Amino acid sequence: MTVITESELMKRALAWVLEARKENPDASLLKWVDEAGVRFNLSPLQSETLLRLLKESEDPATTWNHKR
């Protein structure tokens, strides 16, 4: 069994949302965050954090790396 840290889980979810939005930019951000929550088993707080990061920054991957 592999244990994934919370920060790695969030990075993976963030990367997944960014890629999904490239493929389908017309879908709502909330839709992608909700789907990422299911795919990556995010808590409600983690999903809210992911949504905030995506809304706050044009380059959320950079923002996340600086906050951790």
Asked if residue 18 is part of any domain, the answer here is: yes
pLDDT digits (tens, 9 = 90+) for 15-36: 999 999 999 988 999 999 999 9
Asked if residue 49 is part of any domain, the answer here is: yes
Asked if residue 1 is part of any domain, the answer here is: no
pLDDT for the residue numbered 62:
56
Is residue 41 very low, low, confident or very high in pLDDT (cuts 50, 70, 90)? very high
More confident residue, 12 or 5: 12
Q: Token match 């044009």: residue? A: 58
Mean pLDDT of 54-58: 77
The domain total for the chain is: 1
* Structural domain span for residue 13: 6-67
Asked if residue 19 is part of any domain, the answer here is: yes
Q: Is the pLDDT of residue 11 over 90?
A: yes
Q: Is the pLDDT of residue 59 over 80?
A: no
CA dist list (Å): 31 to 44, 47, 50, 62: 14, 11, 12, 22
